[in-house]
Structure 1
């Protein structure tokens, strides 16, 4: 039955995500993403997004309190993911993203916007809905939900947009970010996985 395989623990096959929307359960990760990306994940991130130049100082000052108030995470000890927005100028970036110069960022913290393929980042899944590994039949299916959401985001956001050819232009991006260091040290870079990008 719908929801029994993928989200068997959800009452009435739904769970509330905190933005007035309810996740619709599904039998596969692909179906889950298709049912929830447009109607749940995108509105949840958009409605709750905090400007990155405001969010990062709060995290640096009190990471636990900020995570509890504004973020979501898979479980204890896992990094928080946040709904975030940013307005800035596109610059050259590292592999898999473009850089974004944002006024008001704390010294030593840079910002980037992920470009396709968005890979296995869990930022949209974790920041966009209150889901945990226990809601799914196994870890693989849980991870696949993140991948399928990223595929839909890439298809929707980047159909007619190539940020790598827009160096020097201003954009406003809304999406999700996970507060974690890729090198294992202090966080010095914020990567935003976008669900919307406005040019100008």
Structure 2
């Protein structure tokens, strides 16, 4: 049990620091938030512990046997698998938490194979708490996250545009610039781009605008700079 507590300490610290760093990224409106950082931190700590304390059933110096090297190959292979679930759509990144979850689960599996049963079980519990428990916290932070980008509106009446401007202000965003309207001569539909900046939930803003009468389409494109993650 003492050995288990010795192993649990670094993992718990990695979890706490991962959540802290992820919360700051979440506050800044970045796609890799608390859950992603927490899962990566826990998984990385567990991989190191598996290499440090695991594989006790194998005699040191056994010819042709290097379990740590096998584990490293597993990590490399799963990295490609995780990359496959991350995709980019309309300037938004999806699948980051799923990829981190796959990577963290691999660390748990490697630790089980290495004989670190208690710490693997503890990290599996942490994993579940991170994925399920931090989701509401992420949503709460997302409502005040910093965003800057282009909101594209398609609408049929001038009143709809006026109402959209009012909604943006109510949701915590400043309309920095309004680009010239484009009018399709064959229909009543018009389009306008609003340059927004502020803190708030883009998801809630676009959902509210989409529900307004007279607005036919709403899309938001985040401004991405170097180091956007």
Q: Which TM bucket (shorter chain)?
A: under 0.3
> Counting strand residues as a fraction of each chain, which structure ranks higher?
1
Whose relative contact order is higher, 1 or 2, with alpha carbons under 8 Å and at least 6 apart? 1
Larger Rg over CA atoms:
2
